[in-house]
Amino acid sequence: MTLHVILKFPVDYTIAGGTTDTITEHQELCEAKNRLIWGHSSNKSTSLVSEVNRNRLKAQISNGENTYSFFLANNKGKRELYVGKMNTIYRKGEILTGSPLIDYIPSYYASSVGTATDKNNILVDVSTFFRIDEKYLINITLESTGTKVGTVENRTSVFLVNIDEELEKLLIDLLTNLESNFQYQVEQVEVPATVTVVDQPRNKPPKTTVGGTSSYKRDAKTAKTAIVSAQYLCEIDPSHKDFISRITKENYVEAHHLIPMEFQYDFPQSIDVEANIVSLCASCHKKLHHATFTDIQPLVEKLYDDRVDRLDDCGISISKTDLLEYYK
């Protein structure tokens, strides 16, 4: 079976002058550079992953096998699970001071990598970094014993693991389907139950690459804020209530950019703002993407009338006619 790695760590990491959020530091770097090198430290003097297993992981990657590094975070007693598709793995001392690879390591410890003060036993190089439901820990087993990782209770911070077909299919879908990945991340991200949205211009988002496809970055937290503001209701018809989400425990809805993000280049300001994001039931969302223009037109016109003033407040100027052109 294909070998993968899982790393355990606390979210809050002590640095000079206080603490930093490990997840945020790594996630933002990966989003900015489409690549991340995660250094994992331990009090142990060993490499944590033997040379034999490092070579095995590298061989899998070279042969085109999807190989993953899972990151199991302890966030104030709550478990959070993240995953990255691996490019390679490095032993301690393999990345030298001044190496261009340092650019892919978070700044709060990048300067120590390759020096005598480097505490990282291993470093994993990944091309993606995103959160998945921690329930999938039951789909990850220790290679040595077959024990489900979610049931293992010891202080070891690195495990060599295998994953089952269900999790493999999920990861392939999230890596190859940008829309599926985005909606999944929106479900996972947490925002307060009560939010206040201030509609104002924001800078254009950067472009990011996922699964080899480049697109303007959509912020899952902004989308979730729009959904919470809509009280998890469909903004085309509030009576549309399909089912209760297992993750949010609320009516399941999806985030839809009224002005599609692929047209961000037409606007000087960001269109990834709450004013441009509507909460829709799955059926209405699919209709806007797949129905005939005759069916789409009245829905878009309604949403435009509801949002035009808010869009103006965000510095986004568009006529109803021009918006409809995007849906033809």
Using the predicted structure, report yes or no on whether residue 15 has a pLDDT greater than 80.
Answer: no
Of the listed ranges 12-26, 58-72, 195-209, the one predicted with least confidence: 12-26
**Same domain, yes or no: 89 and 223:** no
Using the predicted structure, report yes or no on whether residue 19 has a pLDDT greater than 70.
Answer: no
Counting residues of the chain whose pLDDT is more than 90, the rounded percentage is 73
Q: Is 119 helix (H, G, I), strand (E, B) or coil?
A: coil
**Same domain, yes or no: 140 and 28:** yes
pLDDT in tens, 157-213: 899 999 999 999 999 999 888 888 889 999 989 899 999 999 999 999 988 766 566
Tokens of 79: 């478990």
pLDDT in the model for residue 14? 59
pLDDT in the model for residue 12? 65
**Same domain, yes or no: 296 and 314:** yes
**Same domain, yes or no: 207 and 170:** no
Instruction: Give the whole-angstrom CA distance, residue 139 versus residue 8.
Output: 16
Confidence of residue 152 (pLDDT cuts 50, 70, 90): confident
- Write down which residue in 176, 195, 224 finishes a domain: 176
**Same domain, yes or no: 119 and 216:** no
- Give me the mean pLDDT over the 3-7 stretch: 96
- Write down which residue in 129, 159, 176 finishes a domain: 176
Instruction: Give the whole-angstrom CA distance, residue 85 versus residue 35.
Output: 10
Q: Which domain holds residue 108?
A: 4-176
pLDDT in the model for residue 13? 62
pLDDT in tens, 70-124: 999 888 788 899 999 999 999 988 999 999 999 999 998 999 999 988 888 999 9
Using the predicted structure, report yes or no on whether residue 139 has a pLDDT greater than 70.
Answer: yes
Strand partners, 5: 69, 160
pLDDT in the model for residue 299? 97
What's the structural domain count of the chain? Answer: 2
pLDDT in the model for residue 44? 64
CATH (domain of 105): 3.10.590
| Cα torsion angle, 62, 124, 185, 140, sign | positive
pLDDT in tens, 229-247: 999 999 999 999 999 998 8
**Same domain, yes or no: 139 and 209:** no
**Same domain, yes or no: 126 and 95:** yes
Instruction: Give the whole-angstrom CA distance, residue 68 versus residue 159.
Output: 12
**Same domain, yes or no: 171 and 77:** yes
Confidence of residue 140 (pLDDT cuts 50, 70, 90): very high
Confidence of residue 258 (pLDDT cuts 50, 70, 90): very high
Instruction: Give the whole-angstrom CA distance, residue 35 versus residue 86.
Output: 10
- Token pair 């280049």 is at which residue? 265
Of the listed ranges 29-43, 60-74, 138-152, the one predicted with least confidence: 29-43
**Same domain, yes or no: 61 and 85:** yes
Using the predicted structure, report yes or no on whether residue 43 has a pLDDT greater than 70.
Answer: no
Using the predicted structure, report yes or no on whether residue 16 has a pLDDT greater than 60.
Answer: no
Query: What is 206-217 written as a DSSP string?
Result: PEEEETTEEEE-
**Same domain, yes or no: 207 and 300:** yes
**Same domain, yes or no: 26 and 122:** yes
Instruction: Give the whole-angstrom CA distance, residue 62 versus residue 48.
Output: 22
- Across all residues in the chain, what is the average pLDDT? 91
Instruction: Give the whole-angstrom CA distance, residue 284 versus residue 37.
Output: 40
**Same domain, yes or no: 92 and 103:** yes
Which of these, 154, 225, 169, 148, lies nearest to 193 by C-alpha position? 225
Which of these, 178, 318, 195, 203, lies nearest to 270 by C-alpha position? 203
- Write down which residue in 123, 149, 176 finishes a domain: 176
> For the chain, how many residues are written?
328
